Amino acid sequence: MGDKTKSIINDYSDEFGSIIPPIYLGSVYKYIDEELSKKSDRNIVIKYYREENPSLRVLERVIASLEQTEDALVFSSGMAAISTLGMNFLNKGSKVLLLKEMYGSTIQFFENLSDKYCITIKKVFPSHESIIREIEDNNYDLILIESLTNPTLKVLDVSEIGKIIKKTESNIIIDNTFASPILLKPSKYGFNLILNSTTKYMSGHNDSMGGSISGKSSLINDLWEWRRLLGNMQQPFEAYLTLRGIKTLPIRIQQQSENAQAISEFLQDKSKISRVLYPGLKDSPYNSVAKKVFEKPYFGGVLSFEIKGNVKETKDFIKNLKLVKPSPSLGGTESLITLPSITASRYISENDKKELGISEKLIRLSVGLEDVQDIINDLDQALNKI
Ligand SMILES: *Cc1c(COP(=O)(O)O)cnc(C)c1O
């Protein structure tokens, strides 16, 4: 685990020499006492599936290796992972630092807790300067940020944020869902806990749900206790699908990024388009920081844009699409389009939306693996009808 190999290696082996790990559906295993029982590679007794399951373990080892961390845990969803972090790090009266622009349910989860448990939440603009300033000035019990924000695709300079982690020994949790470990490896910059909604790019086929947390073994052990108590581990079949999806993660991210780049450039040249947000565009304010922190010379599969016209015309454009489907998720093989102001960003306050540039008309496109010319033709015909 946590080795520096560049390939996605599944080191599973069994008595029959199966190349592919089986799905362990058993909820119980033989158990007399700790001494006599089979243990996982992290020395947890395999006796009850809520605690440790071999199917989840194979996936966890692969994710830890991809994120270059000591260990990892998988959960039933990204939100299950986030709520487990809340259980682990928060006490009555705790202070939480978030970004103004974040996955909507993440914001809602902490805001709901804040009323119940007197937790103070501070949200800052997504930039390394504002995050560093906050951490230097205050003590936070939990800090959660996103590496590539949704839906305006702001890229954080994680190398700068990493320096403050070393200086203050803060545990900053970074949600790496949009970038994926192919584009960004936060552990390189000193991040101790990395979160992914594996529902998105990691599994990548719009057919499974999951979440992962990767990091130092000591932290992962604490979170393992909470997962055992909450019972929000991933299901074996979902773990199998995620493991199956991860094998093609590098080539999917590359192709989806290339498609997104071509589509962004196409849209930028259209007179009916008023703005395109994509870090791969040369005139994007995030192009140079993306080049600095990303592992690859490409920029991810999500872009956002606005058409010239009102909200009704924007919705008409979406209705006119034939190949690209309207749906709020992202990261899969099918191209999906959504209006974030009524989906992922609906819990962001009106003031914050204004500051962040999330208008009612902003459209987010998660580019799939269809032929890029087919996607462009679809966008073009839908634009021509409005
Ligand atoms: C989808 C998403 C989540 C939540 O994950 P689920 O698997 O839907 O629970 C968290 N963070 C980001 C950035 C996401 O896109």
Q: Is the CB of 200 under 6 A from ligand 1?
A: yes
Q: Is the CB of residue 326 less than 8 Å from the CB of residue 318?
A: yes
Rounded-to-integer distance, Cα 159 and Cα 8, Å: 24
Tokens of 263: 């589509």
Ligand 1 atom 6, closest CA: 78
Predicted pLDDT of residue 141: 95
Identity (one letter) of the amino acid at 210?
G
Question: Cα of 104 to ligand 1 centre, how many Å?
Answer: 9
* Choice between 7 and 128, residue whose per-residue pLDDT is larger: 128
Find out whether the beta carbon of 177 lies less than 6 Å from any atom of ligand 1. yes
What pLDDT shows up at residue 342? 86
Q: Taking 80 as the threshold, does the pLDDT of residue 187 lie above it?
A: yes
Q: What is the pLDDT of residue 115?
A: 86
Report how far ligand 1's centroid is from the alpha carbon of 197 (Å).
5
E-strand stretches of 76-181: 95-99, 120-124, 142-146, 172-175
pLDDT in tens, 15-29: 899 999 999 999 999
Percent pLDDT > 70 in the chain is 99
Pocket test for ligand 1, best of 74, 76, 79, 109 (most atoms within 8 A of CB): 79
The CB of 224 under 6 Å from ligand 1? The reply is no
pLDDT at 343: 84
Nearest atom of ligand 1 to the alpha carbon of 81: 9
Cβ of 73 below 6 Å from ligand 1: no
- What confidence tier does 6 reach under pLDDT thresholds 50, 70, 90? confident
**pLDDT for 376:** 98
Query: Residue 297 pLDDT more than 60?
Result: yes
Q: pLDDT class for 261, splitting at 50, 70, 90?
A: very high
> Is residue 380 predicted with pLDDT exceeding 50?
yes
Our answer on whether the CB atom of 103 is closer than 6 Å to any ligand 1 atom is: yes
Given pLDDT bands bounded at 50, 70 and 90, which one contains residue 117?
A: very high
Gap between the Cα atoms of 46 and 32, Å rounded: 11
| Res 153: pLDDT | 98
SS3 call for 270: coil
The answer, yes or no, to whether residue 1 has pLDDT greater than 50, is: no
C-alpha–C-alpha distance, residues 90 and 209, integer Å: 25
Element (H, E) at 212: strand 211-215
CA distance linking residue 172 with residue 147, whole number of Å: 11
Smallest CA separation from ligand 1 atom 5, residue? 78
Q: What is the pLDDT of residues 206-260, one digit of tens each?
A: 999 999 999 999 999 999 999 999 999 999 999 999 999 999 999 999 999 999 9
Over residues 284-302, the mean pLDDT reads 98
- pLDDT of 265 strictly over 70: yes
Maximum Cα interatomic distance, the chain, rounded to a whole number of Å: 72
Q: In angstroms, what is the span from residue 30 Cα to ligand 1's centroid? A: 36
Q: Is 101 in the pocket of ligand 1 (CB under 6 A)?
A: no
**pTM of the predicted structure, to 2 decimals:** 0.96
Residue 26 three-state SS: coil
Atom of ligand 1 nearest to the CA of 210: 7
β-pair type (172-175, 325-326)? unpaired
Confirm or reject: Cβ of 199 under 6 Å from ligand 1.
yes
The atom number, within ligand 1, closest to the CA of 209 reads 7
Q: Give the closest residue (by CA) to ligand 1 atom 2.
A: 197
Tell me the per-residue pLDDT of 101-116, one tens digit each, with 9 for 90 and over: 999 999 999 999 998 9
Q: How far is the CA of 316 from the centre of ligand 1 (A)?
A: 27
Could you tell me the pLDDT band of residue 4, with boundaries at 50, 70 and 90? low
Distance 236 CA to ligand 1 centre (A): 20
CB 208 within 8 A of CB 242: yes
Confidence of residue 368 (pLDDT cuts 50, 70, 90): very high
Query: Rounded to an integer, what distance in angstroms lies between the CA atom of residue 302 and that of residue 179?
Result: 9
Q: Is the pLDDT of residue 196 over 60?
A: yes
**Quick one: which atom of ligand 1 is closest to the CA of 146?**
13
pLDDT for the residue 2: 47
Mutate to test the pocket of ligand 1, among 197, 238, 302, 330 (most ligand atoms within 8 A of CB): 197
Does any ligand 1 atom lie closer than 6 A to the CB of residue 211?
yes
pLDDT at position 167 is 84
Which residue's alpha carbon is nearest to atom 8 within ligand 1?
Answer: 78
Question: For 10-65, how does the pLDDT look when each residue is reduced to its tens digit (9 = 90+)?
Answer: 888 888 999 999 999 999 999 999 888 899 999 999 999 999 999 999 999 999 99
CB 146 near ligand 1, within 6 Å: yes
| Distance in Å, CA 113 to ligand 1 centroid | 18
